[in-house]
Amino acid sequence: MGDDRKMLFEKVYLDTYEPILGYATRRCDSPEDAADVVAETFEIAWRKLDDLPPGEQARLWLYGVARNVLANHRRGTIRRHVHQAALREDVADLYARTAPSEERMEFAAIARVFRHLSDEDRELLSLVAWEGLDAGQIARVLGCSRNAVRIRLHRARKRFSRGLADAGVEHMPMSRAARVPLGRSI
């Protein structure tokens, strides 16, 4: 019976994958989200294979499953955005209460420059500053050589420094420099 179930699922998958992918792609913000929705839809189909209607009805049933998966995905996205917004406000409030005015303005400029870096530069600088990783550890995370990490990190730091200079941030107060070790050698 196991082979029959597998063959049934493979047939349904091959017959309906493209329409379900199209359905999800037209409703998601990114191809990655669409891929997640499709994967979860077919995972549910596998688990509920006994409930799968025959023939053309299977595609319609899968649209219903995909619709429910999308609804859950959207609720999760909204929940994450609400939590992220609340966290940003809490951090901003804490910083506003503890930092002198000129430091708050400088912090906003630093954050703006950091956000404008490429994803790769932000990831490298974050792995050093926030995760405390050295070049060898970063090399393992990124799947490249230690030398490549050193070169990329040097270039990322130069771009970040240029961005800070362009934004008028010429120095970082010592209290913050200790917390954000972007300049340390790895």
166 belongs to a structural domain: yes
List, for residues 17-35, the tens digit of each pLDDT value.
Answer: 999 999 999 999 899 999 9
93 belongs to a structural domain: no
Same domain? For 61 and 104 the reply is: no
Answer with the residue of higher pLDDT: 140 or 183: 140
90 belongs to a structural domain: no
> Residue 159 has what pLDDT?
94
With residues binned 3-state (H G I as helix, E B as strand, rest as coil), the percentages for the chain, rounded to 5, are 80, 0, 20
Asked if 119 and 172 count as a contact pair (C-beta separation under 8 A), the reply is no
Same domain? For 113 and 66 the reply is: no
Here the CATH number for the domain that contains residue 162 is 1.10.10.10
Mean pLDDT of 149-163: 94
CA distance 37 to 30: 11
Mean pLDDT of 111-119: 86
Asked if 96 and 104 count as a contact pair (C-beta separation under 8 A), the reply is yes
List, for residues 121-154, the tens digit of each pLDDT value.
Answer: 988 888 888 788 889 888 888 888 999 999 999 9
> Into how many domains does the chain fold?
2
CA distance 14 to 145: 40
pLDDT bucket at 184, cuts 50 / 70 / 90: very low
pLDDT at residue 160 is higher than 80:
yes
86 belongs to a structural domain: no
Domain hosting 72: range is: 2-79
List, for residues 55-111, the tens digit of each pLDDT value.
Answer: 888 988 999 999 999 999 888 888 877 777 777 776 766 655 665 556 666 777 888
Same domain? For 74 and 121 the reply is: no
Last residue of a domain, one of 79, 108, 140: 79
Same domain? For 111 and 41 the reply is: no
> Residue 139 has what pLDDT?
87
